[in-house]
Amino acid sequence: MSVELFGVFLGVFFTLAIYTFLYRENPYSRIAEYVFIGAATGYGIAYDLDWLRSQWTGTWSKTTGDSIAFILALLLSLLWYFRFSRKYFFLYRIPLSITVGTTIGLALRSVVFAQVLEQVRATAALTVVGVDAWTAFNNLVTIAIVVCTLLYFTFTVSQTAAPWKPVNKFARYSMMVGFGSAYGYTVLTRMSVFIGRVQFLLGVPPNPVEAKMMFPWVALFMLATMLGYDYYKKSKK
Number of separate domains in the chain: 2
Domain of residue 147, residue span: 127-183
Report pLDDT for 48. 86
Report pLDDT for 220. 95
The answer to whether residue 62 scores a pLDDT higher than 70 is yes
Report pLDDT for 9. 92
For residue 15, give the nearest of 179, 214, 236, 176 by alpha carbon: 214
Claim: this prediction has a pTM higher than 0.75: no
Does a structural domain hold residue 33? no
Whole-angstrom distance, CA of residue 131 vs CA of residue 82: 62
Q: Are residues 112 and 152 in the same domain?
A: no
CA distances from 22 to 16, 25, 26, 28 (A): 10, 8, 10, 12
- Residue where one domain finishes, among candidates 94, 110, 125: 125
- Residue where one domain finishes, among candidates 109, 125, 141: 125
The answer to whether residue 147 scores a pLDDT higher than 80 is yes
Q: Are residues 158 and 113 in the same domain?
A: no
Q: Are residues 103 and 140 in the same domain?
A: no
Query: Are 147 and 122 a contacting pair, CB within 8 Å?
Result: no
Those residues with Cβ within 8 angstroms of residue 202's Cβ, 6 or more apart along the chain or in another chain = 211, 212, 215
Look over the chain and give the mean of its residue pLDDT values, rounded to a whole number.
Answer: 87
Does a structural domain hold residue 157? yes
Does a structural domain hold residue 195? no
Q: Are residues 112 and 136 in the same domain?
A: no
Q: Are residues 140 and 178 in the same domain?
A: yes
- Letter for the amino acid at 229? Y
Those residues with Cβ within 8 angstroms of residue 229's Cβ, 6 or more apart along the chain or in another chain = 26
Query: Are 1 and 9 a contacting pair, CB within 8 Å?
Result: yes
Q: Are residues 133 and 179 in the same domain?
A: yes
Does a structural domain hold residue 24? no
| Average pLDDT of the segment spanning 221-230 | 91
Report pLDDT for 162. 64
Name the region of 130 (left: φ>0; alpha: ψ -120 to 50; beta: rest): left
| Average pLDDT of the segment spanning 215-237 | 89
Q: Are residues 117 and 138 in the same domain?
A: no
- What are the pLDDT digits (tens) for 174-199? 999 999 999 999 999 999 999 999 99
Does a structural domain hold residue 45? no
Q: Are residues 89 and 120 in the same domain?
A: yes
The answer to whether residue 1 scores a pLDDT higher than 60 is no
- Letter for the amino acid at 198? V
Whole-angstrom distance, CA of residue 56 vs CA of residue 47: 14
Report pLDDT for 152. 85
User: Which of 74-78, 95-99, 195-199 is the least confident region?
Assistant: 74-78
Q: Are residues 119 and 135 in the same domain?
A: no
Does a structural domain hold residue 216? no
User: Which of 69-83, 90-104, 156-170 is the least confident region?
Assistant: 156-170
The answer to whether residue 169 scores a pLDDT higher than 80 is yes
- Letter for the amino acid at 102? T
Does a structural domain hold residue 149? yes
Confidence of residue 128 (pLDDT cuts 50, 70, 90): confident
| Average pLDDT of the segment spanning 132-153 | 88
Whole-angstrom distance, CA of residue 205 vs CA of residue 233: 42
Does a structural domain hold residue 142? yes
Total residues found in the chain within this entry: 237
For residue 226, give the nearest of 69, 31, 40 by alpha carbon: 31
Q: Are residues 174 and 147 in the same domain?
A: yes
- Residue where one domain finishes, among candidates 183, 200, 216: 183
Query: Are 198 and 191 a contacting pair, CB within 8 Å?
Result: no
Cα angle 157, 107, 159 (rounded to 5 degrees) comes to: 10
Q: Are residues 115 and 149 in the same domain?
A: no
Cα angle 50, 56, 62 (rounded to 5 degrees) comes to: 160
